[in-house]
Chains A and B, each alone.
Chain A
């Protein structure tokens, strides 16, 4: 029996049923004026009415976007296998705390035997394919689990992003301590979470799906006084082109 019941992409649209995947923060985003589009099977808050205002928010203060629809895969295996997988797919060493962007995904070593891969929803299937293939070809056991809906996500971007985090998170996110590509498991708003620095002043924060509403409120509380606000995913500038490797994906 497969683990398809964990897989959002296993949903099948039919005449009678049109399942749409929804973020746990959708209601709050709608209440804040979010405008939604269906993308890759997900209802995604793409904007909050004014692209200009959102651009200004992320330029002058900070904006947060609900990115719970990002694909997330957890691979647990022997360290040697994880090292080999990261080396072949991200052309990088498996180094705790250092994420690498390749093949449209962030490869985030969280523990010696645990790798988290975060990718755009459209990249989920090929990345999963890559990992399944790697695990299947290995002699050592491994466990690949789709944790897309285990972890919700907010991407916080802008010059005040660090100040926002400082209101609810004790992780050291100073530029020197957490440069782009750094991944930091820790407590966010007193809940287990992971903070990934995707670029200059841009962080994606992963946390439990069930506490998402609570986390949104904490972020809102922290950001409001700093001039920050929610923004649609379209206000997030594309990440700097990652070094794509010839992974076959």
Chain B
């Protein structure tokens, strides 16, 4: 921030608006001027100002246009609760001007008005279009003729919403950081009660976090003359070790986790105990013209004056239902605002009214404000007795400010999300807290406590006690405070609830400022049958706007109760759901976490310019730029592929063989050490879920490989059964610990001779043998298997030596024409051998019998095994469809997923894999076809988008059908 220091006696270089003399608790640093723009106009304020206070001081009265009718809206709450001052800051919409601190050079723009805030063309909706936009108008109007819907939609979409999100990504990119914070106690709300609760708990040794929405703690105390109380309490809390987060909004309550949004950080606070000192929210009154600029809540007027030294108006009319309005009138008088009249809904107002009268201010008991009038802002207010609404009894007052106070409701949204219940209290005229969960505490005004400090202290002590802190003395103190709070609660004076609508004249009476819902709209909703508060909410969208019902729910409930003739308790409230406060999606999205697994050789692949792609959660080389050439290298010389992604499990223990026998349909306990067997894993229903090889390393140790994408699921499956069966077996997942490469091709023995002393002759190292040896100086496990159909060795070594092994093999193989090959060539090679890819060639219904692998199922096994019952049944049935190979004489490979048709062109199967085989010179593939067609030479038709292809069925591998190459 650019600061402009002012020397004593020097005049300010700019005038940051009209200000009052220094106020006792003001937040301004008057020696520092900050400049920003509003709709391109330069505005100055002091450091400590919010956008709203600086603008108001500069004379701005209209801050936004309303959502539906585009009416002028001015400051209403000045506390971040209502929607009236929502602006865009530096291109980001959704900032509340009344809580957004000003910064040097910031760019503030209005929302929802075009072409300008002063002249908004969409205002026509209010003037002439109201009849077209009743509640739920989108169900009634703009639906006929249907062919015009695209036009309607375009217009409605253009008109809807608040603000515009930047189109360019660079303008939207901003970093949100997640911060997890564990705590013993979380206190939400930094008013007197919250600060006291935090300090009390921390002084007993608890780790406490306090979050407050304001730029500094203090809450209501900061504006009503108690700022001297809040300051020392804050210091006390800090001294006790409380972490205070200011400008931080608690967004919701998710099973104990409270996300707290603070600027560009989202704190995820996990606390054992939660104290909510969220205070109360002042309620507006419902009367004609109640949304006009210049009509503001008493708290708003007091905040402007006390915190920002801004005079809210020159001549005011005050309308209230409690002493709060009278106190506001007093405050206004003290700062030089002429108070024309005070309408007090109560017949008897007590001492405060007398004091006002002594100051020459007219107080009208039993009166309410029934209408506000004006052009761009309020110019006149009409007051009338509540029990005699004859026009003759009304009195109109010229004014530029109407201060209203319709009572206060506890801010219970977060508490309700945490499991608290509310009930309607007729004596208080609003819904109050009832039962609280054990780990949840309420303090201060939200709990209905007038002695905020005692209430806070009690909540803090109770929270600390529940986590085992404190001593006898603190418990005694808590008992005393509890008794005192109970005593005070009994003495609470009853409150006069205002009527649902104070006055309804020619202008609109807004119940919901966010969504422009009027009293008339609520009545119409009820008339149309939406006569419960939840239905009315959905129909009219009341409580669904940025205030989330803070300013409108009680009024809506009151009006509904009145209209349907029931009490408020029966009408109830809407359900409190997170987020409690509007929040940018970017905050919730948080930083990107995209875990990618990379093999130990991945760096080499990048250096070799591999095309890298996602394969499950791995990054793998798709090819190295020449997939056909890579296929041919494997057939003609040698190829090397990184298969580190294979799942790898060590299964050990005296019962390891039995364990695997129970999991696989074939027999593995009789596998000899040093030998390998293929296996498929089935579900209980006999369906294939994975496959791989099993190498027996010694009597009690098996090395199990799985598919790359199935590794996690297989490990979980094995662990699950291991827990259940109670066998003497231990399993270790070494997938990430071992690098693995497959060296394949006719010249691989020559290459192996260069890097190992192991005898790799066919006699010494036969097909499906597994041996341990040094390869390029590294301890390796070598499996002689052949997924790609050529003589091959799958070499496994510690991941830390993966690069070394890869380099050594490529170097040794260079004279023999070795090439690295990627996934795509591997898919061609395995397809030539008709080796299945689980998940591609099989689906959730595929059994080993249907997948042409009946030989894998050993039903003569003595032991029971997973899926046995189902497989026994399938063994005697002919499967409806069977997996077969097919070839095309010419043409392009059909799309995987293409449909197999019968003679009548009805779908009878589908293609699962297909590729052009460079070594065979034709297209090959695999497909599910009816069992009756699963014979060599059968003809099938494949429909692939707009092509029809004739294919010939093959049941044996296309390449090396007898496996002579593999076994050579």
Interface of A toward B, CB cutoff 8 Å: 1-8, 10-14, 16-24, 27, 42, 68, 74, 76-77, 113, 141-143, 145, 147-151, 163, 166-170, 172, 174, 176-177, 189-191, 208-211, 213-214, 218, 221-222, 225
Contact = CB atoms under 8 A, between A and B. Distances in A.
A224 to B, nearest CB: 11
A17 B799 contact: no
Contacts of A222: 177
A179 to B, nearest CB: 14
B523 interface: no
11 contacts: A5-B798, A6-B798, A12-B777, A13-B777, A17-B777, A19-B776, A19-B801, A22-B803, A76-B732, A208-B597, A213-B598
Nearest to B207: A174
A3 B736 contact: no
Given A12-B777, A20-B804, A21-B800, A211 B596 contact: yes
Nearest to A27: B603
Nearest to B674: A1
Contact of A4 (B270, B591, B593, B779): B779
B593 A218 contact: yes
Contacts of B599: 210
B698 interface: yes
Given A23-B800, A24-B598, A2 B772 contact: yes
Contacts of B737: 6, 147-151, 209
Contacts of A213: 596, 598, 602
Contact of B268 (A151, A170, A177): A170
Nearest to A147: B737
A174 B180 CA distance: 11
Interface string B178-212: 11111000000000000000000000000100000
Contacts of B653: 141, 143
B305 to A, nearest CB: 39
Contact of A209 (B697, B701, B799): B799
B177 A209 contact: no
10 A-B pairs with least C-beta separation: A10-B779, A150-B737, A17-B777, A21-B800, A143-B730, A210-B597, A76-B730, A5-B781, A172-B182, A1-B697
Given A1-B701, A5-B772, A150 B734 contact: yes
A24 B593 CA distance: 19
Nearest to A9: B779
Contacts of B591: 167, 221
A22 B772 contact: no
B179 A148 contact: no
Given A210-B599, A221-B591, A149 B180 contact: no
Nearest to A75: B730
Nearest to B776: A17
B730 A190 contact: no
A7 B798 contact: yes
Contacts of A76: 730, 732
B797 interface: yes
Interface residues of B, number: 61
B778 A19 contact: yes
Highest count of chain A CB atoms <10 Å: which of B594, B674, B798: B798
B953 to A, nearest CB: 40
Highest count of chain A CB atoms <10 Å: which of B597, B796, B799: B799
A74 B593 contact: no
A42 B182 CA distance: 38
Nearest to B652: A143
A21 B598 contact: no
A19 B597 contact: no
B600 interface: yes
A214 B770 CA distance: 33
Interface string B589-613: 0010111111110110000000000
Contacts of A172: 182, 270
Contacts of B701: 1, 3
Interface in B144-200: 177-182
Interface of B: 177-182, 207, 268, 270, 591, 593-600, 602-603, 618, 644, 650, 652-654, 673-674, 697-698, 700-701, 728, 730, 732-738, 755, 770-772, 774, 776-781, 796-801, 803-804, 808
Contacts of B777: 11-14, 16-19
A33 to B, nearest CB: 17
Contacts of A142: 730
A154 to B, nearest CB: 15
Nearest to A23: B800
A147 B736 CA distance: 10
Nearest to B700: A141
Contacts of A191: 595
B774 A12 contact: yes
Contacts of A174: 182, 207
Given A148-B798, A149-B798, A169-B180, 16 more contacts: A1-B701, A4-B779, A5-B772, A6-B734, A10-B779, A20-B804, A22-B804, A23-B800, A141-B653, A147-B737, A150-B735, A150-B737, A166-B179, A167-B179, A209-B736, A209-B799
A14 B757 CA distance: 13
Contact of B734 (A16, A147, A169): A147
B112 to A, nearest CB: 35
A33 B747 CA distance: 41
Contact of B732 (A74, A169, A218): A74
Nearest to A42: B800
Contacts of B178: 167-168
Nearest to B804: A19
A220 to B, nearest CB: 12
A21 B800 CA distance: 5
B181 A166 contact: yes
A27 B604 CA distance: 11
A241 B801 CA distance: 32
A58 B618 CA distance: 33
Nearest to B777: A17
B64 to A, nearest CB: 34
A214 B596 contact: yes
A7 to B, nearest CB: 6
A177 B674 CA distance: 48
Given A11-B779, A18-B777, A21-B800, A145 B650 contact: yes
Highest count of chain B CB atoms <10 Å: which of A19, A145, A151, A213: A19
Highest count of chain B CB atoms <10 Å: which of A147, A163, A189, A210: A210
B929 to A, nearest CB: 39
Nearest to A26: B603
Highest count of chain B CB atoms <10 Å: which of A11, A23, A77, A113: A11
Contacts of B700: 141
A21 B599 CA distance: 14
A189 B652 CA distance: 31
A177 B182 contact: yes
Contacts of A163: 179
A172 B257 CA distance: 13
